[in-house]
Amino acid sequence: MNIPIITPIQSTTLETKDVKTITFAHPAPVIPGQFYMIWIPGVDEIPMSVSRITLKTKAITFRDVGDATHQLFQLNAGSHIGIRGPYGNGFTIAGKHLLFVGGGTGIAMLAPAIEHARKQKVKTTVIIGVKTHQELFFEQHMKRTGATVYVTTDDGSYGEKGFASDLAATVLKKEHIDAVYTCGPELMMKTLHKLCKHIRFQASLERYMKCAMGLCGQCCVGDGLRVCVDGPIFDGTTLQKITDFGKYHRDAAGRKIMYK
Ligand SMILES: Cc1cc2nc3c(=O)[nH]c(=O)nc-3n(C[C@H](O)[C@H](O)[C@H](O)COP(=O)(O)OP(=O)(O)OC[C@H]3O[C@@H](n4cnc5c(N)ncnc54)[C@H](O)[C@@H]3O)c2cc1C
Ligand code: FES
């Protein structure tokens, strides 16, 4: 599991102009919320959450943001990547009515959890928050699960104008929600965390990763928690104690980068 398995890409789907889904054969079981380390030969190895799960095939969905993701974006079916994992803890999905809030590409890693909840016939509400309509993906995919799906755009070009966390506040007032699950910009997740003092809460954190096995300490948050093995999913009580949550993360050299 800790050595990359060189695997051909089965298929690629362009979700938006800079977001792509890649599928590959990978029979090992994976829990929604877990991630793989994806090796792009000659470039880098980067963490990517699972975005689609079938028995034999898995997928990742990612935005072209830098060196490694840009190179990954150029690959087509038949190109080879290295895959190790899955790593991390994954979501605990329980409750009668669940709210999922995905900001930006965050909806990609929430998708398997939403599908899982719907397969269990759990009432599910989904909020997808994007800056503008052109960045929206997975709306139809989420609707097909039978979830109630809302979209927010920062510029009002589609769905409701405003932030996903604003709409989440409205939903939380109107509905009896048992648990909230989120992935997206950390400031958005921090806002949601504050709204969920009395509701079960799970958020997926992103930190710069190297080993993904709990050895190098690169991804530490709070009081020595390693995002790669203790997370990436943290519950509301644990997040309360992680003082850097919503404040800063660290780059490859360990320098603090403040969230703005
Ligand atoms: C557990 C986990 C799961 C992830 N799942 C996904 C996913 O499903 N889809 C997806 O698009 N991205 C995901 N990411 C983020 C992804 O790993 C980074 O965007 C990627 O490593 C950037 O590499 P790069 O070489 O393309 O960019 P770089 O050239 O290294 O950096 C470009 C920009 O991306 C930022 N960045 C670099 N590394 C990270 C990182 N680890 N986390 C956050 N920002 C970073 C940099 O600060 C910089 O602003 C995940 C990260 C973690 C930790
Ligand atoms: S990436 Fe090495 S400890 Fe988490």
Give 64-91 pLDDT, tens digit per residue: 999 999 999 999 999 999 999 999 999 9
Distance from the alpha carbon of residue 212 to the mean position of ligand 2, in angstroms? 5
- CATH level 3 topology of 5-87: Elongation Factor Tu (Ef-tu); domain 3 (2.40.30)
Please return the burial class of 97, using the count of CB atoms within 10 Å of its CB with bins 0-12, 13-18 and 19+.
middle
By most ligand atoms within 8 Å of CB, the mutation choice from 205, 206, 216 for ligand 2 is: 216
Predicted confidence (pLDDT) at residue 166 exceeds the cutoff of 80: yes
Quick one: average pLDDT of 153-173? 98
Does ligand 1 have an atom closer than 6 angstroms to the CB of 35?
A: yes
Distance from the alpha carbon of residue 227 to the mean position of ligand 1, in angstroms? 14
Q: Is the bond preceding residue 86 a cis peptide, omega within 30 degrees?
A: yes
Check residues 2 and 161 and name the one with the higher pLDDT.
161
* CA distances to 62, 133, 141, 209 from 144, in Å: 21, 19, 5, 34
- Give the tens place of pLDDT for each residue, 110-153: 999 999 999 999 999 999 999 999 999 999 999 999 999 999 99
Range of lowest pLDDT (100-109, 159-168, 246-255): 246-255
Give ∠ CA 221-22-138 in degrees, rounded to 5. Answer: 80
What pLDDT does 5 receive?
A: 95
CATH number of 97-258: 3.40.50.80
What pLDDT does 260 receive?
A: 83
**Which residue minimizes the CA distance to atom 28 of ligand 1?**
66
Distance from the alpha carbon of residue 209 to the mean position of ligand 2, in angstroms? 5
Nearest ligand (C-alpha, residue 186): 1
- 229 Cα nearest atom in ligand 2: 4
200 token code pair = 């079960």
pTM of the entire predicted model: 0.96
Nearest ligand (C-alpha, residue 221): 2
Distance from the alpha carbon of residue 31 to the mean position of ligand 1, in angstroms? 20
Binned at pLDDT 50, 70 and 90, residue 61 comes out as very high
Break the chain into its structural domains and give their ranges.
Answer: 5-87, 97-258
15 token code pair = 């979700």
Quick one: average pLDDT of 219-234? 96
